[in-house]
Amino acid sequence: MEFNIAKSINLHDVVCPMNFVKTKVELESINPGEILEIFLDEGEAMLNVPRSLKEEGHKILKVIPIDGMYKIIVEKK
């Protein structure tokens, strides 16, 4: 599935809650309906960031595992 990515952010080694803070900053810089691509480490980050995205109403479209990390495709609310 191809997505029209507006912005991308690599959060490798960025711990909670800074990873979500940085995600929010990136989401601020795009328009509603546009797509942000987030690279997250497995473990704690994967438990917290998707949950926070859900709580704020953004839509996760796809999660793809890549070399011990995950690529999260998110549509801004």
Partner 1 sequence: MDPAELKKIGIIQQKQKGLYAMRLRVVGGDLTALQLKEIARISEKYADGEVHLSTRQGVEIHNVKQADVAAAQKKFQQAGIEMGACGPRVRIIVACPGEATCRWGIVDTKGLAKKLDAEYFRKDTPHKFKISVTGCPHNCAKATENDIGVMGGILPKWEEKECTHCDLCVNVCPTKAICKEEGQYKLDVKKCIFCSICTALCPTSSWVVEKKGYSLFIGGTMGKTPRLGTRVADFIEDKNKLMKLTDNTIRFYREHGRKKERFGHLIDRMGEKKVIEEISDGV
Cβ at position 73, least distance to partner 1 in Å: 8
Q: Could you confirm whether 17 is annotated as catalytic?
A: no
Q: Cβ closer to partner 1: 3 or 8?
A: 3
| H helix and E strand count, the chain | 2, 4
CA distance 69 to 73: 13
Cβ at position 12, least distance to partner 1 in Å: 16
Catalytic residue among 16, 30, 46, 73: 16
Q: Tell me which residues touch partner 1 (CB under 8 A).
A: 46-47, 50-51, 53-54, 59-65, 70, 73
Using CA atoms, how far residue 62 sits from 8, 28, 35, 65, in Å, is: 14, 20, 11, 10
User: Of the candidates 55, 56, 51, which has an alpha carbon nearest to the alpha carbon of residue 72?
Assistant: 51
Cβ at position 48, least distance to partner 1 in Å: 9
The residues that are catalytic are: 16
